Amino acid sequence: MNKLKHEAAPIHDALIDYRNTRIVSFDVPGHKQGKGNIMLRDFLGEKCLSVDVNSMKPLDNLNHPTSVIKDAEDLAADAFKCDRAFFMVNGTSSAVQAMIMSACNEGDKIIMPRNVHRSAISAVILNGAIPVYVSPGINKELGIPLGMSVKDVEKAIIENPDAKAVFVNNPTYYGICSNLKSIIDIAHKHNMLVLADEAHGTHFYFGENLPPAAMHLGADMSAVSVHKTGGSLTQSSLLLANTKRINPGYIRTIINLTQTTSGSYLLLSSLDIARKNLALNGKDIFAKVIELSEYARKEINTIGGYYAFSEEIIDGDSTYNFDRTKLSVHTLNIGLAGIEVYDMLRDDYSIQLEFGDLANFLAIISVGDSYFAIERLVSALAEIKRTHSKSKANMIEHEYISPVVKVSPKAAFYANKKKIRLTESVGLISGESIMCYPPGIPILAPGEMITKESVDYILYSKEKGCLLTGAEDMGVEYINVLDI
């Protein structure tokens, strides 16, 4: 990577030129650089609104980039060391969906772990691909799903030789990585594409002493949430591609099925600027993040009761590697669910975590953090333990329920359905998804049998204060089931 050329930021520079020309606007957006909405201008600032503009010749067009957006995407591909990069402004969810829809047609099989994000389930509902689930490993001590075993992936490939692709999380929400290189080699040997959900893996491309990035190992496509750990604005993302096995023009066509025709230049320029910063400073940025994360782990584990886990859980198989920037903390040994600690930290100590589930919480550490912020978190956790710890008896200790798939997700989603009480639904087939958000991994997905275990898990999650989403009934008292 030539760092000198990464001093450029084509979209950013074009927007500055646009602002300096003082063009009279008779196009959208209607706020006209903030002049038409003073309240919005006072809130976001004049500089921000002056570059919230529409596509035009000097600023290129996201759906068919030929100038500054194309140049910015080419620089991103160079920085991330892959063949192509596509700027996404509908979030990484749209990037995940574009990957799956580029690789699979209706009726095609795709091998994937069941602990995928809701966006992957949505993709197979939209295009009718058939998921072949590989159950992730389970760490029973921590109550978390792990990565996919190479042996299990190979078995699924051999049993489904007509599958078009293998989908892998790199890493999971908790920082767990599968043996991605071996999975890629096996999949390619059987003429299958490899798609990586790297929503939480931007830093793999720039940091040292971290798990390897999917594109660097030869994966065919990857969805990367630059906004999560790379410093761009929320909802901005990249779809990366290596083009030996897939046509980049076709990927662009698929992206344009769902990507907005009114791409936000605030989001686009933030991707451009974030790429520049990562290319020039990423190594130092993520060295600092690892340092902060390791310090936080050491201090939290000194409190006792909590367990901030790291590389010691690596087993060479379903936990092949671990992302040390992830501050994942197990809480059950103080008798509290992760979501309960999450709520206490926010409500009582003004500390906002990424998420809490039934056994753990996740704190995202970035270069924007400091030792002072870490000390504040550690002190609050010590106080919570002192004032709220209790017996862990009768607490649910795992986060993954093996699905019983009866109908394809698309067929179930569009089937005739009826609404019944969740507590009376055991044995029926779900017509919708239910999940805790975050992390957005479905407890139930369309087409899966509703089991007593899944109902108990949903009810327990409600009791502990998890935000349950996906169901048509906002209170999740009822569920839509197939009317068969």
Q: Which residues share a beta bridge with 224?
A: 198, 238
d(CA 157, CA 186): 8
- 7 by Cβ neighbours in 10 Å (0-12 / 13-18 / 19+) ranks as exposed
Q: List phi, psi (to 5°) of 476.
A: 50, 40
Compute how many other C-beta atoms are within 10 angstroms of the C-beta atom of residue 255: 23
Compute how many other C-beta atoms are within 10 angstroms of the C-beta atom of residue 462: 16
Which pair of tokens denotes residue 257?
A: 């099925």
- Give the helix/strand (H/E) hosting 156: helix 150-159
DSSP designation for 333:
G
Which pLDDT score, from 0 to 100, does residue 250 have?
98
Placement of tokens 């589930």 in the chain? 357
What is residue 356's three-state secondary structure?
strand
Which pLDDT score, from 0 to 100, does residue 397 have?
65
- For 24-77, give the DSSP string: PP-SS-TTTTTTT-HHHHHHH-HHHHHT----BGGGB-TTS--SHHHHHHHHHH
Q: CATH number for 62-266: choose from 3.40.50.300, 3.30.310.50, 3.40.640.10, 3.40.50.1820.
A: 3.40.640.10
Alpha carbon dihedral 289, 293, 296, 302, in 10-degree steps, equals -150
* 8 A C-beta contact, residue 48 and residue 206: no
Which pLDDT score, from 0 to 100, does residue 311 have?
96
d(CA 298, CA 22): 54
Which pair of tokens denotes residue 13?
A: 């520079």
Placement of tokens 């993709």 in the chain? 123
Sign, Cα dihedral of 400, 402, 408, 411: negative
| CATH 3.90.1150.10 domain locations along the chain | 282-388
Placement of tokens 């994966």 in the chain? 219
Half-sphere exposure of residue 393: CA atoms within 13 angstroms, side-chain side: 2
Which pair of tokens denotes residue 299?
A: 């201090």
Candidates 150, 154, 170, 197; CA nearest to 315 is 150
d(CA 23, CA 38): 20
Q: Where are the alpha helices (DSSP H) in 221-370?
A: 226-229, 248-258, 265-303, 338-349
pLDDT under 50: residue ranges of the chain: none
Which pLDDT score, from 0 to 100, does residue 396 have?
73
Question: What is the separation of C-alpha 220 from the centre of its chain, rounded to a whole number of angstroms?
Answer: 18
Which pair of tokens denotes residue 24?
A: 């009279």
Compute how many other C-beta atoms are within 10 angstroms of the C-beta atom of residue 231: 22
Residue 231 region, left (φ>0) first, then alpha (ψ -120 to 50), else beta? left
Q: Which residues share a beta bridge with 113?
A: 134
Which pLDDT score, from 0 to 100, does residue 398 have?
65
CATH superfamily of 282-388: Aspartate Aminotransferase, domain 1 (3.90.1150.10)
| CATH 3.40.640.10 domain locations along the chain | 62-266
| CATH 3.90.105.10 domain locations along the chain | 409-482
Which pLDDT score, from 0 to 100, does residue 140 have?
85
pTM over 0.75: yes
Which pLDDT score, from 0 to 100, does residue 4 have?
81
Diameter over CA atoms, the chain: 68
- 44 by Cβ neighbours in 10 Å (0-12 / 13-18 / 19+) ranks as middle
Question: What is the separation of C-alpha 64 from the centre of its chain, rounded to a whole number of angstroms?
Answer: 26
* 8 A C-beta contact, residue 186 and residue 213: no
* 8 A C-beta contact, residue 231 and residue 278: yes
CATH 1.10.8.50, domain 409-482, yes or no: no
Which pLDDT score, from 0 to 100, does residue 438 have?
77
